[in-house]
């Protein structure tokens, strides 16, 4: 699935050993603030791939990569919105290829001008909060996976310490790629 590849590459919503995810039924914001756009816009290296991030005139974020597969180029795309909570940008990432409205929740922190880190949610911890009735949502357990569907991600990330929601101990590092300057 292209979208799962996109999220895996970003380190954003799926761990390599499981398919656990935290999703929202809608984007975390109507538009991404300009300061967040400045942080994210540009070209990033994520492991052995290059990602391009841009924002359109409605402040909707777009991320794309170009992969060589089966003797042809394949473009992977996703749409996103971001909301700044303290020093962390919470992102809801969606795939235009998926029919169901699912917005995967991830966290991003800019380490410096050249490096950023993406963090996965702690799906089991979020599931406990939903099952305890702290947030409206549902937990779907499969044989080898779990999906936690949150109705209002904004309420959750603004009223719960982010350390309880995201695994800040396991970052996925993004390095900014800058064009070479001409002499």
Instruction: Determine which of 5-19, 124-138, 146-160 has the lowest per-residue pLDDT on average.
Output: 5-19
The answer to whether position 22 is within a domain reads yes
The answer to whether position 111 is within a domain reads yes
Residue 140 has pLDDT above 60, yes or no: yes
Q: What is the mean pLDDT of the chain?
A: 85
The answer to whether position 52 is within a domain reads yes
In terms of Cα–Cα distance, which of 103, 105, 102 is closest to 122? 105
pTM (2 d.p.): 0.83
The answer to whether position 182 is within a domain reads no
Question: How many separate domains does the chain show?
Answer: 1
Contact in structure between 176 and 111 (CB atoms under 8 Å): no
More confident residue, 23 or 95: 23
What does the pLDDT read at residue 124?
94
- Segments forming the whole domain that contains residue 48: 2-177
The answer to whether position 183 is within a domain reads no
Please write the tens of the pLDDT for every residue from 7-21. 444 543 333 334 788
């Amino acid at each position: 699935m292209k979208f799962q590849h996109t999220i895996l590459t970003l380190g954003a919503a799926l761990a390599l050993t499981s398919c656990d995810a935290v999703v929202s039924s809608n984007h975390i914001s109507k538009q991404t603030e300009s300061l967040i756009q400045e942080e994210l816009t540009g070209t990033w290296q994520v492991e052995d791939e290059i990602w391009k991030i841009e924002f359109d005139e409605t402040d909707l974020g777009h991320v794309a990569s170009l992969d060589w597969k089966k003797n042809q180029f394949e473009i992977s795309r996703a749409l996103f919105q971001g909301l700044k909570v303290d020093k962390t940008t919470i992102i809801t990432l969606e795939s235009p290829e998926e029919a169901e409205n699912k917005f995967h929740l991830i966290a991003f922190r800019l380490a410096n001008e050249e490096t950023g880190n993406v963090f996965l949610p702690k799906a089991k911890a979020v599931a406990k909060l939903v099952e305890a009735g702290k947030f409206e949502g549902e937990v779907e357990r499969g044989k080898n996976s779990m999906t936690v569907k949150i109705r209002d991600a904004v309420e959750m990330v603004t009223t719960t310490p982010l350390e309880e929601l995201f695994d800040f101990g396991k970052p996925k590092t993004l390095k900014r790629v800058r064009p070479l300057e001409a002499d």
